[in-house]
Amino acid sequence: MSITYLEAIRAAQAKALAEDPRVYIYGQDVGAFGGAFKATKNLAQEFPGRVLDAPISEDAMVGSAVGAAIEGLRPIIEMQFADFSTVGFNQIINQAATLHWRTQVPCPVVVRLPCGGTSGSGPFHSQTMEAIYAHYPGLVVLTPATVEDAYSMLLEAVAIDDPVIFCEHKYLYYHLKAEGLPTEALPVGKARIARPGRDLTLVAYSAMVHEALEVAQEFAGEGTEIEVVDLRSVKPLDTDTVMASVARTGRLLCVGEAFPWGGVTAEVIARVATEGFDLLDAPPQRLNAKDTPVPYHPDLWAIHRPTARSIAAAARSVLRS
């Protein structure tokens, strides 16, 4: 049986609803309609009264989830697009993220963000927002790159006692398929060696893992072995796995789809540079989207974000230096 990344997200939510009566789903059009992307297809019918359509009120969606979490429930909030989570930003970073630290009462809310660029989606339906959420203390930020991780990490997100920002990549929704759902998985907080290699550590997460793997494949043909590290979770960040890889390769390139100022790639490089400077044989590099909003036209979009082509060029430059 083949299953897509999107179906895995649906399946994880179905399992969470079936196994834990504290779980409910709340978001625009998630009920009978099954969500803008169909991530909650049929769940309202299967779990009556537990998959609820929200008004177009992101602030209240998140705020009410915090209230429900205080009462012992485990809400899953679906943002229709990650971009619209900015309207609920205050409740996420000031209310949900600070509750446990201030009161010792946990806040187990999952906010699902359909992230990332697909061609033709423009500046307001394409953003990746992991960096901005990871900046705030009190949040867990997950960025699954595989069907298996989409499933197992969403299940784990529901079980985690803290607010989790679950960044699911829209480009992977239909493009990515697996043979079935996993029965075991690496825990949240552990990165994964997606492909072993000895010449360069290429750190990526979410959809960029697949661009990175394509580059590694291309370089293998030329006798260069790139090790691809899939971060899986950007907060917490598994520095140990990255460092161990850099210890093997001596070279580091870090790739992300987000805007270039700060963010996950800068964090990875800062950690390696401060804690593992001696491991590096060359200056580490990073590659991100360009410092403009995400453009609409496919030809502009294709240059705005990193692709196998631009990653390969950056990899060559790290390997040469």
Partner 1 sequence: MVPTVLRPASAAAAPASSQVRERHVVAFRGMLLGRLFDEKFASLYRGGKIHGGVFLGRGQEALSVSVGLSLRRGDVFAPLIRDMAGRLAFGEPLLDAARTYLGSPLGPMRARDGNVHRGRPREGLIPMISHLGAMISVVNGALMARRLQGKAGFVGATCIGDGATSTGAFHEALNQAAVERLPVVVVVANNQYAYSTPNSRQFACRSLVDKAVGYGVTGHTLDGTDLSACLEGVGRAVDQARSGNGPQLIVARLLRLCGHGEHDDSSYIDPKLRNSPLGADCLKVAEDRLLEQGWARPEEVDQWRAECVARIEEAIATVQRESPPDPFQEDWSALATRHLIEQRGTL
Which parts of this chain interact with partner 1 (CB under 8 A)? 28-29, 31-33, 36, 53, 55-57, 59-60, 81, 83-84, 86-87, 119-125, 260-261, 287-288, 290-293, 295-300, 302-304, 314
Q: Is 304 left (phi over 0), alpha (psi -120 to 50) or beta?
A: alpha
Short-list 27, 171, 186, CA closest to 110: 27
Report what 244 binds from ligand TPP, partner 1, none; CB cut-off 5-8 Å by kind.
none
Active-site residue identified among 125, 169, 210, 304? 125
In which element (H, E) is residue 131 found? helix 130-134
Judging by beta carbons within 10 Å of its beta carbon (0-12, 13-18, 19+), is residue 218 exposed, middle or buried? middle
Short-list 49, 100, 107, CA closest to 73: 107
- 125 has catalytic annotation: yes
Q: By the 8 A CB rule, do 71 and 78 touch?
A: no
- The DSSP output letter for 239 is H
3-state SS, residue 200: strand
Of 114 and 306, the one with the shorter C-beta distance to ligand TPP is 114
Distance separating the N- and C-terminal Cα atoms of the chain:
46
**28 is a contact residue toward ligand TPP (CB under 6 A):** yes
Of 59 and 214, the one with the shorter C-beta distance to partner 1 is 59
Of 80 and 206, the one with the shorter C-beta distance to ligand TPP is 80
**56 is a contact residue toward ligand TPP (CB under 6 A):** yes
CB of 36 to partner 1, least distance (A): 7
Of 179 and 299, the one with the shorter C-beta distance to partner 1 is 299
CB of 259 to ligand TPP, least distance (A): 20
Single-letter residue type at 88: G
> For ligand TPP, which stretch binds (CB under 6 A), given 80-88, 114-122, 254-262, 263-271?
80-88
Strand partners, 195: 228
* Residue of 84, 151, 173, 205 interacting with ligand TPP (CB under 6 A): 84
Of 28 and 288, the one with the shorter C-beta distance to ligand TPP is 28
Cα–Cα distance for residue pair 88/61, rounded to 1 Å: 8
3-state SS, residue 29: coil
CB of 166 to ligand TPP, least distance (A): 18
Residues tagged active-site: 125
Task: Return residues touching ligand TPP (CB under 6 A).
Answer: 28, 56, 58, 80, 84, 87
